[in-house]
Every structure is written in structure tokens, then in C-alpha cells.
Amino acid sequence: MAVHSNESMRAQIGMLIVATSIIQLANGFFNTFISLRLAIGGFGAELDGLVLSSYFAGFTLGALRCGQIIERIGHIRSYAALAGLAVAATAAMPILTGPLSWMFLRAIVGIGAAGVFVTTESWLNAKAQPSERGRVFSIYMVGTFVALAVGQLLIGGVQLEGAKSFSAIVALLAVALVMVSTTRAEPPVVTVTEKLPYSQLVRAAPIAVIGCVVNGLITSAFYALVPAWMQDEGTGRETIALAMLVAVIGGLAFQIPVGRLSDRFDRRIVLAVLGVGFAAAAITVVLLPPTLRFVLPTAALLGGFMSTLYPVCVAYAHDRMPADRVVAVSGQLILISGLGSVAGPLIGTTVMARFSINGLFYFMASAAALLSILAVGWSLITSAPRHLRRTFSILAPQAASLAHDQLDPADIPSEPIEVTSEES
């Protein structure tokens, strides 16, 4: 009986991961597609920035509020309702084509996407056995990266005008919605978490806060604006798809090695190295000839460096805060990164309007370099915290981990422990 129960649970977990990977595929395609569509829409740089930023504003709002919806109506209905929001908003976009309408609809898509990811991760948390939770979330995050990568490949054959691309996105979202709506779920365990003043997190881990802002700025600006610029420069959509694909793959490839370094050394120094690496790669894009021979390796480096900033910041913040504040700390970092994500396309479109793409890359490089300087400076005046058992976790670009489990009481040491070479 227990074996059957475990097999049933694994089947449900597998179904949920597949369904959410399909949504991530649609989401990755949609984010790049909308950037290309806006570039030919004639709205103007400022309105383009607002439309692109509205998704991240909705995503941040959804990440913060969807937990209450899950507690009220359960996982399955929450997933269906929030995915349904994204479906309805996407279907309406080819009908309501004005910039204000698209701002509103993209914000709804962001709310729905965040809600799906929050529901999925809290659901996985409830279903996975503690001994298997790390492996389950690793599979989930790898599936997310793969889906994002496949979503970029679809750009090569996309039709920018008309409603076909919107219909394809709606179809993918609907398939995932049907898969989840026809399954059974255990009721979620409702946990009450103590509120955490923002000032406490800022005082305890200022570099984590700054790092999350910088991550939001550069990640949203990169994924929202670089495809549109490439199209304006006459780059073929197959090449655009390949460049964005390589950036996502670079993000996946960097996760494990950076995670190991982060768990072994002072995370602030690791952040500084990532910031310098990203800044150097961004400046290299400006200086080297715009050929695939140079663009693709640089895109992989950009994707790798920026995709690991956020998880290192999260791990560092957990090092500095009590173990029972895991959920509260994670929620605040989501909001902080989300605010940076809202600002990224707004600032980026303004900079590009005046200085073209070179200005955007210099802006992103400057933000990353500033983070590096602050991280090194802070490491010189304060000692490094000892790492807790909650270590670096793989987090995907454009879909940072939104639902964090509480540490098992048996895993919480009375004092923070150091990660030694034997433990690593």
C-alpha cells in the first residue's frame, strides 16, 4: 500500500512538473515574442518600456498575494484560476491592441504566471518527502531551464503580426491547465509566518538587498530589450532565438559550479566576481564585432553570470537571518528583485533611446560593477557569516523560486555551521 502511495505521489509530482514546464515554455516564448512585437508596433520607447515593465509589476504582485489565494481555495483551484487569468489576458491581446490595454493585460499575465509558480512550488513542497525534496526541486528547476530554452527556439519561426502566436501561447497554457485540473491534490498545510520588518533585512544583509535590485534590473532589461534591438538591427529571428537560447543554457550551466563556490567561500566575494564577470561580458558585447562567433559565447557568459546573482543573494540573506525566518526573508527578496525588474525595462528603453544598445550594455555593466564594489567593500568591514544548512539553490531566470519551505526543525542547528571541504 505504501509503495502504491509513493508511486501515485511521484506520478502527481511528475505531472505537475511537466505541466508547469509547458507554462514556462509558453512564458519564455511570450516574453521574447512581446519584445519583438513591440519593436514593430510603433508605440514609442517610453510606452514600450511601460508595457514590458507591467509584466514584472504583475509578477511581483502575484508572487506576494497568491499565497492567500492558495490558503483560501486550495492548490488545484488556485492553479486553474491563475492559469485561467493568463489564458484570458493572452487571448485578449490581439483584440485589444492599444498600449494601455497591453499594459493592463501583460500585468494580468504576470499575476497569473507568478500564481502558477507559487502554487507549483508550494504544492511540490507539500507532496515531496523531505528526503526527496532536494532532488524534486532540482528536476523542477532543470525542467524550467529546458522549457525556457525551447521557448526561445520557437522564436525562429514566429509570425509577429496577426494572432497566431498569441493563439499558440493560449493553447500551451490551456494544455497545462487541463493537466493540473484533472488531477487530485492533498490539501496544503497552512503555516503562519511571522512578519519581518524590511529594516531588519536591510541591516542584516544589505548586499543581498542591493544584489536583488541589481539582478532584477539587468535580467529584465536583458530579456526584454536585447531581442528587440537585435531585430531592429536586421538580425534574423533564427539568430535572435539562438542567442537567447544560449543565454538560458549559460544560466543553467553556471548554477552548480557557482553554487559550490558560494557554499564554500564568502558569498559576498562570489557576488563580486559574478558582478565583475557580467560587467566584463557586457562591455565585450559592445567592443567585439557583432558576429555569431563572438556573440554566442558572450551571451552564454551574460546568462550565466546574471542567472546566479539572485540565488547567491538569497543564500547570503539566509546566512544572516535566523533559520525560522526563511519564508519571510524569501518573500521580501522576491519583492525587492521584482521592483528592480519593473525598473529595468523603463530605464533601459530610456537609455537606448538616447545611446542605442551600447548605452544599455554600459548601464547593465555599471550596475553589476557597482554591486561588486559594494560587496568587496562590505566584506572588508564585516566578517563573513558562517553558512547555514540551507545552502545555494538553483533558481531559474524570469521565474525565481517563489515558494520556500521552512527548514525541518531537525535540520536547524543551535548555532550556524560552517561548510567545510568535507561537508561540501
Q: What is the mean pLDDT of the chain?
A: 80
Q: What is the pLDDT of residues 242-294, one digit of tens each?
A: 989 999 999 888 988 888 888 888 888 999 999 999 999 999 988 888 778 88
Helices (H), 164-205: 164-181, 198-204
3-class DSSP assignment, residue 399: strand
Neighbours of 414 (CB within 10 A): 5
Tell me how far apart the alpha carbons of residues 182 and 173 are, in angstroms, rounded to a whole number. Answer: 15
Which of 135-139, 157-161, 377-381 bottoms out in mean pLDDT, i.e. has the lowest? 135-139
Which of 49-53, 198-202, 351-355 bottoms out in mean pLDDT, i.e. has the lowest? 198-202
CA distances 398 to 125, 222, 262, 416, Å, are 21, 11, 21, 31
* List of domains in the chain: 2-407 (1.20.1250.20)
Tell me how far apart the alpha carbons of residues 137 and 228 are, in angstroms, rounded to a whole number. Answer: 33
Tell me how far apart the alpha carbons of residues 334 and 340 are, in angstroms, rounded to a whole number. Answer: 10
- Can you give the pLDDT at residue 210? 93
Nearest to 402 by CA among 14, 125, 45: 125
Q: What is the pLDDT of residues 27-42, one digit of tens each?
A: 889 988 998 888 887 7
Give 28 or 158, the one with higher predicted confidence: 28
Cell 548555532, residue located: 415
Q: Are 264 and 419 in contact (CB under 8 A)?
A: yes
Q: Are 419 and 387 in contact (CB under 8 A)?
A: yes
Q: What is the pLDDT of residues 358-404, one digit of tens each?
A: 899 999 999 999 999 999 998 888 776 666 545 566 665 555 455 44
